[in-house]
Structure formats: C-alpha cells, structure tokens
Amino acid sequence: MAANNYFGFTHGGTQYGAATAGAAYGGQTGYAVAPAATAATYGTQRAAATGYDTAYQAAAATQAAHAHAHAAAAAASAYDASKSAYYQQAAAAYPSAAPQPQPAYDTTAKPAYSTPATYAQNNIIIQGGGRAGAGAKAAYGSVYTATTAAASYPAQAYTAPAAQQAKPATNRGNSAYDTALYNAATMYVAQQNKTAANTGWKNYNKSGVGAGQARRPKPPPKAQQLHYCDVCRISCAGPQTYKEHLEGQKHKKKEAAAKANSSGGSGAGGRGSGGAALRCELCDVTCTGADAYAAHVRGIKHQKVVKLHTMLGKPIPSTEPTKLSADKEGEKEEDDGEEVQPVGQDYIEEIRGDDGKPQSFNCKLCDCKFNDPNAKEMHMKGRRHRLQYKKKVQPDLEVKVKPSMHQRKLAEAKAQRMLVRDEMWARRRMHEGIEDDERAYWESGAEAWWARGPLPPHMHHHHHGMSMGYGNVGRRPETSDDRHVIARHAEIYPEEQELQQIQRVVSHTEKALKSLSDALAEQAQSKGAAKPQVKVEDKKDDKPEGKEDGRDNQLFSFMGEGEGNNGGSGEANASGTAAAGTVARALKGVMRVGLLAKGLLLRGDKDVRLVVLCHDRPTITLLKRVAADLPQHLHRLKAPNDESKYKVDLLPAEGAVQVSDGTVNVLVSLTSAVMREPAEGGDAKRDDKDVLPRQKCLDALAALRHAKWFQARAASLQSCVIIIRIMRDLCRRIPNWTPLNPYAMELLVSGVMQSAGGALSPGEALRRVMEAVAGGLLLEQGPGLRDPCEKELVDALGNLAPQQREDLTASAQQFLRQIAFRQIHKVLDMEPLPKLKTGGGANSWKFPRKRRRSHTDHDHDTPNGEGKIGRTEEIKAEVADKPAIKK
Amino acid sequence: MKKLQSTSLNFSVLSFRSGVCVFVICVCECVAAISGNLRITTVKNSSIRFIIKGRGMPGRGGMGRPPFNRPRVLMLRPPFDLILAEPAFPRCKPAPDDTALTQALLKRHAELCPTPAEQAAVLSLVTKLQTVLDNLVVAPGDFAACQLEEVRQVGSYKKGTMMACKNVADIVVIMKTLPTKEAVEGLSNKVNEELNKLMRAEGLGNVSSACHERGFTVTAASSAVRVLVTTLHHNLRKLEPEVHLDYKVISSHLAAIRHSRWFEENAHHSSIKVLIRLLRDMCARHSGLEPLTPWMIDLLAHHCIMNNPARQVLPINVAFRRALSLLAGGLFLPGCAGLPDPCEAAHARAHTALDLPAQDHAAATAQTLLRVVARGGHRYVLGLQAFEGGKDISTEITVWDGVVVSPLAPAYNETPEPMDTDEKEDEGPDGVAA
C-alpha cells in the first residue's frame, strides 16, 4: 500500500512541480537541501525523543519559506504526501509504537526523502506518532471536521505548525496541523486503528477532547463535512454512510487489492494489464487509449471528482495521463500517432440540433452514429472505418492488418471476393438479361435438334469449349420461328392424294399429247412425203430412255428414238430446226411449267400448266385439231377401271386447250420459239388471223424459261422453295400482297436467299425476306427486280402502282416487327405453337434432362455434350458394358 | 475406350468421363504403372474424345452449363442490306434523281453545324476545365476528396459532331479512388473554385457547377461542360449502389472513352460526321427514334457510309436512305445481329441498350419515315419544314400524290401473345384503304 501511495504521490509531486510556477520549484530545491540538514540534526539529537522538535524546526524553517510562498499549491502536494505519510504511520509507526520513533522515522521516512513534501509530513506524523499516547490523540480526534475553503485552509495549516514551532511541546499545535492537513487521511487511520486494535481511535474521536479546540482555528465558511474515502475515491454524504462504506464489500475489496499490489512490489507493474493503458490518477480510472482518456477527462464523472477534489483542496494532478507500462506504450503511441490519419471526414455528416450545434454524427461509410465529437474522431481513425474507406473510397488505402486477425481476414477477404463475384455476375446477368432472353427464344428448340441422335461426324473434331457457334455452323438449332414456318408449311403443302391426282391428270395429258404428236407426225409424213421431213433436234437432255411423261419437270420430247439426236436442248435448238431443213413434227414436246414445274403447288391448287412447243407458229387450226383429237387419245390412255371423264376445252384467246377431269385443270398452251422473232414473221407471213395470240405464246415461252431458271437457281437454295410456298400462301391470303406477281416474288425470295451468303433456316429466311421488303426494296427508288430470263433489263415487278408498293412495304414492315417480337404465327396466320417441353434455351442448364445413352452406342460416338448430366447413369451403363467388352 | 482391357483403367477413365480428359493418356500411363499389365497401345489419341471442362459441357448448346460462361454467340444474321446485296439485286431501272434529297441534306447539315462563336465558347471552357483538372491530376495539393487518374475529352465535342445550340462538351474524369457522391461533390466544388479563379483572371463571367448522377456540369454563360465521373476499371466491382455513383453510369463513362478512341481511329471521315448530325437531329425530332443513343447513331452512320463492298465512302443521300432502310429493315430489332459494338466484348450488339418496346417503336418510326421519304417527304423528315405545326410526321397519316402513307401499329406485346387477339397486321392496310 505504501508503495502504491508513494507511487501516486510521486506523481502528484512531480505533477505539481510541473503545474505550478517556478516558485514551487524553488521550494523544492529548498527541500532538497533540507534532508541533509535534518539528517545531521537527527544524528546529533537522536537520543532525545524531543530532539526531534528542533530537527523539525530546522526543517520547518526551510520549509516555512516554501510553504508560505505558495500556499494553496503547496497544500495540494502536501495533501498527496499526507496520504503516503499517513499510511506509513499506520503501517509502521503505530504498530511499532512510540518507544522507538527514530527507527520508524528512518525506515519510513527515507523513501519519502525523494520527495521533499513527504519528508516534512513524515516528520510531523512521526512526531505525532511518537507522542501517540499523549496529546496527538486529541488532534486526531478533530480530524473529522474539514473545511471547504480549500484554498485558504492549507495556508492556515502551514502557518499553524510554523507558529507552533516556537512551542513544540504543544500537542495542540501539532494536532491542528494534522487536522488541517490530513483530515481525510485520518479517517483511514480510524479504520486502521480499528483493525489494528491498537488503541481505540474512535474513542479518541468520540472523546472529542481536542476536537473543539481543533475545530476552532478552522474557519468553515460553509462548513460541510466531507466523508471521503481515499481508496475508493468517493465522498459520502454523511458519517453514517461513510462508515457503512468503509465496512462495505466493495471498499474492502479495493483495499485488499491495493494492499496486495503494494506487497506485490513494483509499482509500475502493479496496475493494468500492461496494454496501451492510460490512467487517470485522479479518478483511478484506466483508459485503453488516448482518446478514451480524453473522453474520460471531459466526462462528467471526472469533472465531479475534480470538483470534489478542488473542494477538498486536494492536489489535482494535471490532465496528463499516467502511462502504464511506459516504455512499451511509448513506442506504440508514437507510431500510432504517425500513421493513423483520420480519413473520410467528408463522409461523416453532422446532425445539428435546433441551436445549430452538432448533436450527433453519422458516418455514411460505416453506417453508424455517434453523439460525441470525440467518438467521431476515434471512429475516423478506427480500423473499421478505414477498412470501409478503403473499400468504398480509396482502394489503395493502407490499413494495418492485425496479425492476430490474419486468419479471419483471409476468410473475410475470400467471402468478400465471392460476394463481389456473385455481384458481378448478377450485374452482368442483368446486363445480358435481354440478350439471354432473346437467345433463349432464338435458340429454343435446340433440344429438338440435339435429341436427334448421334451427331454428324464433324462435330467430334473440334473443341467444344471454344465455340459453340463454330460447332453449329453446319446444323443450326431450330428456332421457334423455324418451327412455326415448318408447321405452316406442312399445313399448306398439298396432301399426297391431291398431288397424285394432279400427277395422274398431267401425266395422262402429256401421254395423250405425245400420242397426238405421233399421230400428227405420221400424218404429216405420209401426207407430205415430198417435204424432206427429217427430225433433227431432240430434247434428250438428261432425259432417261423410255420416259413416259414430263414427271422430271424437264421437256418431254415427243421425238422418237430414230428421229435423230443432236443433243441440243430447249427452244434454242427448236429454232434451228427449220434451218436444218428437216421436216419437223408439228408438236415437238411438252413441258410442265409454273407451279407444277417449280413444285410450288399448295393445298387447293387445281390449275397447272403445260406448254407444248410447236415446230412452227402455232395456229388456231392446230389448236383446234389438238382440242378435237386429245379426248380420243386421253381415252385410250385411261386404265380400264378409271371412270374419270376428261373434258377438253378450247380456249383460243389463251392460245391453249384446257384438260380437266373435274377437279384438276391442266392448261395446255401452244407456243413456239419462232414466235420470238418478229422480224421473220413480221409482215411476210402475216397470215396472222390463224396464228395464236403472240403475247400468249411469248408468255408461255417465258413460263418455260422461268421454270428452267427456277430449277437451276432457286430450287438449289436452302429454304427457298419452302419460303416461296409460304410467300405464295401469304400472297393468296393477304390483299396487300396479291399484286406481287408470283414470278417477281420468286425472284425476290431467291435474291434474298442468295444475298445471305449462307444457308438460312426457314425462319431466318422468311424474316430476311420481310427485312428486304420492309427496307424499301420494292419501293420506286429501289433497284427493281431484274428478270434474269430476259436479255434486256426488265423489271419483273412490272408496273406496281405506288400505292401497292407502299402497302406491300408497310405490310412487310409490320410483319417484320411481328416476327421480331415472337408473333410469327400472326404473319403465318396460324395458332402459336406451344413451347417445346424440353425447353431448350435459358432454363435448360438448370434442369438438365437425363439422357438415355442407348442410342449413342459407343464412347467415341457419344456427343461431347453428354457431360455430367447423366453421370451416374453413364457409369452404370459403362459398368454394364464392361462384361461385353471383356469378352 | 471399348478396347481397353483393364478394369482398373476402365475405372479410372470412367471417373474422368464426365469431366476431364485430354489427361486420359497420362492417366492410362499412371494406371499402367500401377497395374503393370495394361496394354495402352489400344488407346489411341483419336479414339479418346473428352474435353477438359469442369463445369458442364459446352457442346450442347448451353445445356448443362451455367449461363455465365456461355459463349456469347448469338447465331443471328445481319439484316438484309441492299447495298451489300447489290449483286443479288442488280439495278434494272435508272436510279432516281436524288439531287433534291442531297440538297436538302446538305442544307440541313449547314443549319445543324454550330457557329464559330459557339465553338469558340465551348473550346474556351473546355480548355480551362482541362487545365484545372490536369492540375488536379498532377498536383492535387491539399485536395483530398478524391484522387484523379486521368482526364479525357469524349463525346460529340471530341468527335467533332457537336450540334448547333447544344454547347455541351463532355469530359470524363477517371478517379483512382472510388466515385462516391461526396467525392464528386468535393471535386465539383474544387473545380468550380479553381475555374472561377481562372475566369476572374481573364475577366470572364463566373461559372457554376451542379452535381448530378453522372458527375457534374460546369456551366458558363454560353456553354457547358459535363464532367463525367468514372473510376479505374478494376475498381468497378467494388462499387456499391448506395454509396457510389451507379455502376451503369460509371461503366458507360468508361465506354465513352473507348467510343471516342474508336471514333478517332475509324470514323473521322467528314461524311460520317455529317450523317451523324443529320441522324441525331432526325432522331431527336421523332419520338420513336429518341431512345437511340449517340453511340448507336455513330455506329449506324459509320456503317452506312463505310460498309459497302467497295469500301468507298458512299454519297450522303445514299447513306441516309440506307440508314433509314436498315432501321426499317429491323437492324435494331431483337433477333437481328444489328451492329456489333466494336468497343465491347465480342458479339455485343449496340442496340441491346434499348428495351424491347423502344426497339419496336424505333423500327416502326423508321419504317414510316422511310415510306415518307420515298414519297418525297424528306423535307419534313429532315426538319427543314415543320409538319403541320410541328407534329411528328411519323405518327400521322399523310397523303402524297394520292398515295396514303400511314404509321404502323406497335408489334411488341408485354405478355406472350394470347391466341385470339386480332391481327395487327391488318391495321396499317385498313388505314390505307380508308
């Protein structure tokens, strides 16, 4: 305890010295001299107990200057000294009792020499102690009374002993001094006495012999009794409570702790855990940091204590904190001070009260509030705040990593990374939301394709991880649009039965025409033998031998085998016939044209066309002849059980005959290549009355060319025929599209397909056609559709009226957007198809379908995409396979 | 794999089946080393066909894969483009006389060009602001609200496509620190202060600066500069919505830098700039085309002028028609390859920034305008002549020489189409018929 108190005192002393002016310091130097003097005095006067008085006087003489010089301040330090002094007395002087005051003095006082004030006090106390049995008791009895006039009191206290030095024998003077200085300390003594059971202190107290006297010299302006417990540093309202306090558990505990500390030895290690602790001496409060200490000093508790102490006239240590575990902390403080710069001042907003004073602070980075500016400061230096600042404001800010936290930090960082990554993906997903969605749509139906079984071999030879686009160049998944187009196409495609019927009628007509041609030829040969009738040309191009009709959509020549074969083809040769000077058949051949040849028949189409090439200009006579004879030949061809009746109508205005079986109408036009040469037939052979209408003949010739063009160019383009069928259907349904003539439409579609530079799926193809029209291809400024079957520049569109062009374009524009927004069924005039159940696209990866691998027979034939989806299954299958492999 | 004889090998390979296996060979060797009686010779490289792939298989068109690393290959076709499809559609009739349109385009462009005075005003402000910001980059001094990395001019000012009466230049500021709202505010105040010092020194009027969600705008008497705030690329993922400026805004500013650079390198031809001005003006005046961003217009203009088989600069009238025609032909519709964005990761399309209704509306507007221009209404479309007191011609039914041109109904439906709704396709024609 003593040590503890000395420790405290030492501080008090130094602090005092620092705090008060030079005068005080001077006093102390005075002291420094004093001990030597007293020591000498003691040496001489040791024998006499009373000799002390003189010694004391000597000391007091030196002291006097000091004490008087700085009254109040000195008192403050004196006070601190008093504590320790008193304890010494309690501990040493009392138990060892009066008879040997000197050793007591020596032992106890010596450490006190280090601090002069103690010296003085010790003297006094020891003196008091030495005379314990006598008058000092009275003095102590007066202890309980204290004055609140702290400033004046110490001065008085000092003066008293000074005065008393003249009559050292007077106990009263001495006791007064004691009373004045150590009122509080004495309470302690009281207690000590009680425990020590040396003498009944209380009795003295109660006896109050000197009490009245003692009280008298003190001027108590507002005489208020203070009951101050030094250990606990509290004041009690009254003696009773004070007593109770002293007997209380808390107090005892503290006391015991203090004692233990003192006996434990070293004062420095005595308190605190040795951390960065700062201690407020006054309140005996340990703070963990400078900020906390500052907060404490400003705090109401501390203020109270200060007030109390001021009242008591006790020395108030300066607010400089006491550092515990000094050296360690010193460095720490230093580098802390260096590097922790408060950051993010801008992010702390002040919430002001009505008076404009900041009431509280809100840190926007850390989302926390403080009411105290101090706390704000602390927060700004704090690790959490810095971390937030680093995270949210300045990524390169250095935040010291607590080593102990290292592990946790790592974990945190990891979690953070995960979070960030998730977030980033989420963001990206959000970004791509539309596209994913879109992709899902355009790729929906992928399943249908993938499920088709083993992949084509080329799929195996590249790395799938790299590009799926690459992998799908060859075969692209079906989109929803494709499915719609294909479904619609299936709807409009004629039924097998219908086709067969048409086929039969056409075939019969062709055969009948051939036999008619043969008959005519025979007739001509027999009749005009004079004419050198040698058949030269033949339409043998890729026509198989023994061809029975024009099923292959090529020219079905009526020439017999023996009729010569110059390998030419088409009408080009036909014109050369005459030059060859041979006798030609009147009817050289027949060819399917139009829908039939192009394969564009739709459900419900009943009208097909054949073109018969004549050797010479077809005449009405010839036409009539054909019309008259054809039924006969048709009848001959009929199967015995075929009851269908063919009807043949003569249509001279069309330059054609129409063969009909009631449902299917076959228009047989007569034409000739020579019709194209007006020069030849210009005026000379103007027996035009008989010749069929020229335009009709030319149309028929054009139809022939169109059919050939179609077969050569359009039919080979992927999706082209499908789309043309679809477009035909569209033109049939929608009035705006009706003006578009079929051939122009075919040109348009094939041009669009051709320009795509690659294969298009049906859905894409339809869309592209719409794009072309929507983009104004058919408008007046457009390039027009050049007819590839004409030598001159001819616009196949013909004379579309501006309004028609406008309407076509507008309609296509609307269709285009409908296709784009997944309403292709509206364009196609059909019910929307349900989504595929297997649902390719976006969700498929989430719910992978289990695939049986039965049809993917061998490992290397397994699609690479098999993946982990059917992993267990696969393994099972593999295991099942194994015996077989072994064998 | 069938030929493998060893159980142990089978097993080890099995375990790799679903995921890995270029490793198969070395696995085989390992197993061989262990079992000692393996005939690895039966294993041929070619017969082993597994792919190292941790997560699912890409070969299935997205099946079994998380969506994120899905290759961004949208198998979409570019739209029909008449200029590129020239060989398939050779012109078979004389090209129309387009001088009227050309004249109108040039005239309108002259109107749209900013006057020298305007240009000077903007230039002066931009220069000063650049000075101030550069100073902050080089020597921030006590300015601690943020650290600047770089300052760049972007946008129409940089590209030289500014329009008359729109004297707003753009500057992107790249921060080293994260762009919090406070940092932006601090920067704004600092810039304002510094700039005002400069202005005072030159005896010019004061500038004011106001923050907004993209950064802040410095406004002087007759011009303004938007300072767009962004941050370093690697900071992007650290952004938090409530603390910082919006992620999208930040990254769009970064994109703006890329755009400016791309433009400088690829689209400096003045024809492109002319077309950009005309298109921007046209888009601004027709509600449907308004959502098109300047960047889309830049790309479109560049495409229309430069992207042709001959790689020659197309005449302005052809390019203008082409632009309309492409838009009408669904260039910016879903399901179309559109214009690839050269400044984004592969396969990004420029028009996906538009939402679906906007795409629909834009296409429909362009379609109507296309038909109006085809009828000779280019003066209205270009804004040389106000249409019936400033009405939007793309939403009105007009008659040109007896040809009725009517606007189109939107095709986009929020919900998947119920089956019994009436066909919208008839609406346009009906209007015409009436």
Query: What pLDDT does A322 receive?
Result: 61
CA B150 vs. chain centroid, Å, equals 23
In the predicted model, what is the mean pLDDT of residues A154-175? Answer: 43
More confident residue, B302 or A882: B302
Q: Which of A442, A780, A807 sits opposite B429 (nearest CB)?
A: A807
Strand partners, B404: B399
C-alpha A469/C-alpha B61 separation (Å) is 9
ipTM over 0.90: no
Q: Do B374 and A781 touch (CB under 8 A)?
A: yes
CB contact residues (below 8 A), chain A span 460-489, against chain B: 460, 463-469, 471-472, 476-477, 481
Query: What pLDDT does A430 receive?
Result: 62
Please tell me whether residue A538 adopts helix, strand or coil conformation.
Answer: coil
Q: What is the CA radius of gyration of chain B?
A: 29
Query: What pLDDT does A128 receive?
Result: 39
Q: Do B74 and A439 touch (CB under 8 A)?
A: yes
Q: Do the Cβ atoms of B225 and B170 come closer than 8 Å?
A: yes
Q: Do A816 and B413 touch (CB under 8 A)?
A: no
In the predicted model, what is the mean pLDDT of residues A210-238? Answer: 59
Query: What pLDDT does B297 receive?
Result: 94
| Helical packing angle, A802-820 and B356-374, nearest 10° | 170
For tokens 């390019």, the residue is B319
Percent of chain B residues topping a pLDDT of 70: 78
Please tell me whether residue A715 adopts helix, strand or coil conformation.
Answer: coil
Single-letter amino acid, residue A432? E
| pLDDT class of A290 with cuts at 50, 70, 90 | confident
In the predicted model, what is the mean pLDDT of residues A811-823? Answer: 92
Chain A nearest-CA residue for B416: A822
Q: Do B408 and A813 touch (CB under 8 A)?
A: yes
Cα distances (Å, whole numbers) of residue A280 to A123, A329, A330, A331: 30, 16, 17, 20
CB-based contact, A810 to chain B, within 8 Å = yes
Query: Does pLDDT of A389 surpass 70?
Result: yes
> pLDDT digits over B120-137, tens only?
999 999 999 999 999 999
Q: Which of A468, A754, A869 sits opposite B88 (nearest CB)?
A: A754
In the predicted model, what is the mean pLDDT of residues A412-441? Answer: 72
> pLDDT digits over B202-240, tens only?
888 888 999 999 999 999 888 899 999 999 888 888 888
More confident residue, A152 or A340: A340
In the predicted model, what is the mean pLDDT of residues B177-198? Answer: 89
Q: Do A814 and B145 touch (CB under 8 A)?
A: no
What is the CA angle A561-A563-A569, rounded to 5?
85
> pLDDT digits over B349-364, tens only?
888 888 999 999 999 9
Helices (H), A566-693: 570-580, 594-598, 620-637, 678-681
Query: What pLDDT does A393 receive?
Result: 78
Query: What pLDDT does A380 receive?
Result: 83
Structure tokens at A377: 């400061």
Q: Which of A364, A424, A793 sits opposite B92 (nearest CB)?
A: A793
> pLDDT digits over A634-688, tens only?
888 776 666 667 888 888 888 888 888 878 888 888 888 887 776 454 444 555 6
More confident residue, A882 or A513: A513
Nearest Cα of chain A lies from the Cα of B33 at a distance, in angstroms, of 21
Query: What pLDDT does B367 receive?
Result: 94
Query: What pLDDT does A366 receive?
Result: 82
CB contact residues (below 8 A), chain A span 351-390, against chain B: 364-365
Mean confidence (pLDDT) of chain B: 79
| pLDDT class of B70 with cuts at 50, 70, 90 | very low
Nearest Cα of chain A lies from the Cα of B118 at a distance, in angstroms, of 38
Query: What pLDDT does A452 receive?
Result: 37
Please tell me whether residue A719 adopts helix, strand or coil conformation.
Answer: coil
Query: Does pLDDT of B371 surpass 90?
Result: yes
Q: Do A815 and B425 touch (CB under 8 A)?
A: yes
Q: Lowest-pLDDT range, A226-235, A336-345, B283-292?
A: A336-345
> pLDDT digits over A472-487, tens only?
344 456 788 888 999 9
Query: What pLDDT does A637 receive?
Result: 78
In the predicted model, what is the mean pLDDT of residues A379-385? Answer: 83
Q: Do the Cβ atoms of B264 and B161 come closer than 8 Å?
A: no
| pLDDT class of A838 with cuts at 50, 70, 90 | very low
Please tell me whether residue B117 adopts helix, strand or coil conformation.
Answer: helix
Q: Do B178 and A423 touch (CB under 8 A)?
A: no
Q: What is the CA radius of gyration of chain A?
A: 62
More confident residue, B423 or A550: A550
Q: Do B61 and A840 touch (CB under 8 A)?
A: yes
Query: What pLDDT does A730 receive?
Result: 92
Nearest Cα of chain B lies from the Cα of A433 at a distance, in angstroms, of 10
C-alpha A761/C-alpha B335 separation (Å) is 13
Query: What pLDDT does A654 receive?
Result: 82
- Report which of B336, B290, B297, B291 is spatially closest to residue A774, judged by C-alpha positions: B336
C-alpha A242/C-alpha A234 separation (Å) is 9
Strand order in the sheet with A285-287: A285-287, A278-280, A322-323
Q: Which of A423, A786, A813 sits opposite B92 (nearest CB)?
A: A786
Query: What pLDDT does A542 receive?
Result: 37
Mean confidence (pLDDT) of chain A: 64
Q: Do A826 and B425 touch (CB under 8 A)?
A: yes
More confident residue, B53 or A372: A372
More confident residue, B341 or A53: B341
| pLDDT class of B94 with cuts at 50, 70, 90 | confident
In the predicted model, what is the mean pLDDT of residues B14-28? Answer: 38
More confident residue, A378 or A333: A378
Strand order in the sheet with A348-352: A348-352, A358-363, A368-370
Query: Does pLDDT of A392 surpass 50?
Result: yes
Q: Lowest-pLDDT range, A584-598, A837-851, B261-275?
A: A837-851
In the predicted model, what is the mean pLDDT of residues A26-48? Answer: 41
Q: Lowest-pLDDT range, A315-319, A793-797, A800-804, B87-91?
A: A315-319
Chain B nearest-CA residue for A844: B63
Query: What pLDDT does A451 receive?
Result: 37
Number of other residues whose CB lies within 10 A of the CB of residue B427: 16
Please tell me whether residue A279 adopts helix, strand or coil conformation.
Answer: strand
Single-letter amino acid, residue B352? T
| pLDDT class of B423 with cuts at 50, 70, 90 | very low
C-alpha B64/C-alpha A868 separation (Å) is 8
Q: Do A867 and B66 touch (CB under 8 A)?
A: no
Query: Does pLDDT of B53 surpass 90?
Result: no
Number of other residues whose CB lies within 10 A of the CB of residue B157: 23
Q: Which of B47, B95, B336 sits opposite A860 (nearest CB)?
A: B47
Which residues of chain A does B371 touch, with a Cβ-Cβ cutoff of 8 Å? 776, 779, 806, 809-810
Q: What is the DSSP letter of A795?
A: B
Chain A nearest-CA residue for B143: A346
At B211, give phi and psi (nearest 5°): -80, 150
| pLDDT class of B303 with cuts at 50, 70, 90 | very high
Chain A nearest-CA residue for B362: A817
In the predicted model, what is the mean pLDDT of residues A330-340? Answer: 47
- Report which of B280, B294, B322, B272 is spatially closest to residue B112, judged by C-alpha positions: B280
| pLDDT class of A20 with cuts at 50, 70, 90 | very low
Query: What pLDDT does A441 receive?
Result: 61
Q: Lowest-pLDDT range, A85-94, A411-420, A507-516, A536-545?
A: A536-545
Mutate to test the interface with B, among A388, A815, A816, A822 (most CBs of B within 10 A): A816
| Structural element, H or E, at residue A773 | helix A762-774
| pLDDT class of A416 with cuts at 50, 70, 90 | confident
> pLDDT digits over B388-418, tens only?
777 888 888 999 989 999 999 998 887 654 4
Query: Does pLDDT of B108 surpass 80?
Result: yes
Which residues of chain A does B408 touch, with a Cβ-Cβ cutoff of 8 Å? 810, 813-814, 817
